[in-house]
Structures are given as structure tokens and as C-alpha cells.
Amino acid sequence: MKKLTTLKIKSHKLQREKHSLQMLTCYDFQTAQMLEQTGIDMLLVGDSLGNVMLGYETTVPVSLEEMKIFSAAVKRGAPNKFIVADLPFGSYSTLEQGIESATKLFQYSNVESIKLEGAFPYQLELIERLTQIGIPVMGHIGLTPQSVHELGGYYVHGKDDASAKKLLEQAINLEKAGVFAVVLECVKSEIATAITEKLSIPTIGIGAGNKTDGQVLVINDLLKEGPHTPPKFCTPIANLFDLKKDLITNYLNKNQEVAKANVQPSVH
């Protein structure tokens, strides 16, 4: 399967009934090696690595240096996949800082694109500038985890007319600014559908219904690699946490049995 490009990703808009874009998060070299051998379209090195890999309560503490290290590792493991890396919180608070941070992350990791959250005027200008200098950008609206404290928590967006109108305006503005695709996270399905129909670029949903042009999930949720229940919109296809725990427990028990069997009786 040939690696996707931004042009090929955009063309999927016209092929949604035949092929829905599939995207999973990936944070490490070996998982990237495995995904390299699958038909997955895109990999996202999300700042969600702060939660699932580093144990942070939110994505806010994730640094640019951490994103550079993890993104480069994933790229080394899956050189033939289209990889998107998140710009972390605090790395694009101003236009100038955003250009510098995106350039460092893009150049160091060798990924195909960066992603940033929000659609405020300075962020739209940042997207325009980045695309002008050759850095493809994926947009992200709805629930933006980096702003969880300002938003007041995790919840579905677009439930009322004002929120729905704002989301549609943001999506249109992001497309005008130059993003090649936009993530819709925890957006009411009817609004996600309306946005998908309005835009000429693909929408990638996560907790936004099944009418978007593609879907993205955290791979650790999909495989249930942690002890906690994944979000409602993700139905795990395995329970690797319990499976690995049982395998390790069996290994330890067998080793203990072998050790007991090898104990020589004491001579009196």
C-alpha cells in the first residue's frame, strides 16, 4: 500500500462510500513497526501520549521535546506511513512561537504533517504561514484537550444552535486557512455530518458519529491496554491489559514452581 500524501487524503472526500480514512494514534517504535505492516491510512503521534505513556492527568504538561522524541521514534518504525504529530500545549501561544515550534517538530521528526488545536484568528494565521513554508497542517476542533481547563471539562460540543454555528464557522475558516483535513472530537453527530457535507476537505471524527470521512482512535483504548474503561465512543477489540497481566502471572508462577523443584533437600 503506497504512502498517502495530502493530495491523496483530500481525494478521499470523493471516495468516502468506498474507503473511509482510518487513523490510529501511535507513540512508540515497535507499535509503529506493527502498524507499518497493516493497511492503516494515517498514524497520529498525539499529545495524548501524556496520558497513556507518561501518566499525566491531562495533555497540558506534554513538552515540545517529548513530542519530538516520540514522533521521531514512530517515524523510524513506520517510514512508509503518513504520520501526523501534535503541537503540544504552550508551543504555539503566539504566531512566532508557533512557526518556530512547528518547524522544529516537523524537521526533527521527519513526519508528514503537524496538527494543532483551535481556530482563533492567530491560529488561522499560523496555519496559513506554515502551509506557505511547506508544513502541512491538520486542524482540530470540538473538544480540544489542551483547553480542557478553560472549557470546563470533557463533553460533547454542538448541542445548541450557538455552539453548532461556531463549530461550522471554525471548520470553514480552517479550510480557508489551508488545513488538508480536520479532526472533529466529541462533536454532536448531526453537526459533524453537516460540517462534513459543507467542507471540501476530509473530516476525521472521534466521538462524532459515523458520517465523517474518517475515524481516529487512541490505539491504547482500542486494544484496552490500560486498566480503565475506554471512552464510550470506543468499543475495544481486545483486552490486552488483562491478557498481558495473566501471561506475566503464569510466567511468574511457573518460575516459582521450577525454583521449588530445584531446591535440594537439606542433609542432616
Q: Which residues are catalytic?
A: 185
Cell of 140: 482540530
Backbone angles phi, psi at 141, to 5 degrees: -135, 175
**58 vs 68: CA distance, rounded Å:** 18
Name which of 121, 118, 163, 159 is nearest 141 in CA terms: 118
Is 242 known as a binding-site position? no
State the pLDDT at residue 148.
Answer: 63
Is 17 known as a binding-site position? no
Residue 108 amino acid letter: Y
Question: Does a structural domain hold residue 250?
Answer: no
Question: Does a structural domain hold residue 163?
Answer: yes
State the pLDDT at residue 144.
Answer: 78
- C-alpha distances in Å from residue 250, one per residue of 62, 253, 257, 263: 36, 5, 11, 20
Question: Does a structural domain hold residue 245?
Answer: no
Q: What pTM was estimated for this model as a whole? A: 0.91
Question: Does a structural domain hold residue 64?
Answer: yes
State which residues form the domain around 207. 6-239
Q: What does the pLDDT look like over 174-190, one tens digit per residue?
A: 999 999 999 999 899 99
Is 47 known as a binding-site position? yes
Q: What does the pLDDT look like over 131-186, one tens digit per residue?
A: 999 999 999 999 877 766 665 555 577 778 888 999 999 999 999 999 999 999 98
Number of domains in the chain: 1
**75 vs 36: CA distance, rounded Å:** 10
Question: Does a structural domain hold residue 247?
Answer: no
Question: Does a structural domain hold residue 252?
Answer: no
Question: Does a structural domain hold residue 39?
Answer: yes
Question: Does a structural domain hold residue 22?
Answer: yes
State the pLDDT at residue 259.
Answer: 79
pLDDT higher than threshold 80 for residue 235: yes
CB atoms within 10 A of CB 251: 10
Query: Residue 234 belongs to a domain with what CATH number?
Result: 3.20.20.60
Work out whether the CA dihedral 7, 11, 13, 17 comes out positive or negative: negative
